[in-house]
Amino acid sequence: MDTFLHVIGIMLLAFGCMAGIAALIFGLPGTFVILVVALIYSWATGFAAIPWSTLAWLLGLAVVGEVLELGLSAGAGGTRPSLRVALGAIVGGILGGIVGAPVLFGLGALPGALLGAFAGAAVAVASEGGARGEAIKAGLAAMRGRFFGFILKTSIAVVMVILIGAALLRV
């Protein structure tokens, strides 16, 4: 019976990790989903399978992933960096992800977030009196920053799953 429960636990852990990575596509904080799933599994096994040190690394990676994504999304103001452009890119990216989420069973969230970041930064530059070309340049920079932030955070999520797998292999 213990072996059966152990296998079920590992399957639930793997499913939770996959759900965390999939959550990134929808613009959700999937790195924290992975952390919570690992914490629950670790608690259920008496912290024998995934020790506190691994959980601390997972927490650090989750925070770094979120901060880097936010920083890349906000700091990509192109030739016109300002608080308004950064906030426009962030808010536009969030709203675009929400609007795009229903498209293609949720897969439209990422393109929606990219287009939203473009629109948010471009509108912000235009509201500051910037020329159309400058607004487009800032919008493209915001879109690029949002995309690279997504790629970076997804890479960090994959590293987190690898750390969990390595911790499980040590048991």
**Cβ–Cβ under 8 Å, residues 24 and 17:** no
**pLDDT reading at 77 higher than 60:** no
Separation CA 34–CA 23 (nearest Å) = 10
pLDDT tens-place string over residues 118-167: 999 889 888 888 888 888 888 888 888 888 988 999 999 999 999 999 99
Categorize the per-residue pLDDT at 98 as very low, low, confident or very high, splitting at 50, 70 and 90.
Answer: confident
Alpha helix locations (H) across 26-128? 30-44, 52-74, 83-100, 109-127
8-state DSSP, 49: S
- Among residues 138, 137, 156, 147, the alpha carbon closest in space to that of 65 is found at 156
pTM here is: 0.82
Higher pLDDT, 29 or 57: 57
**pLDDT reading at 45 higher than 60:** yes
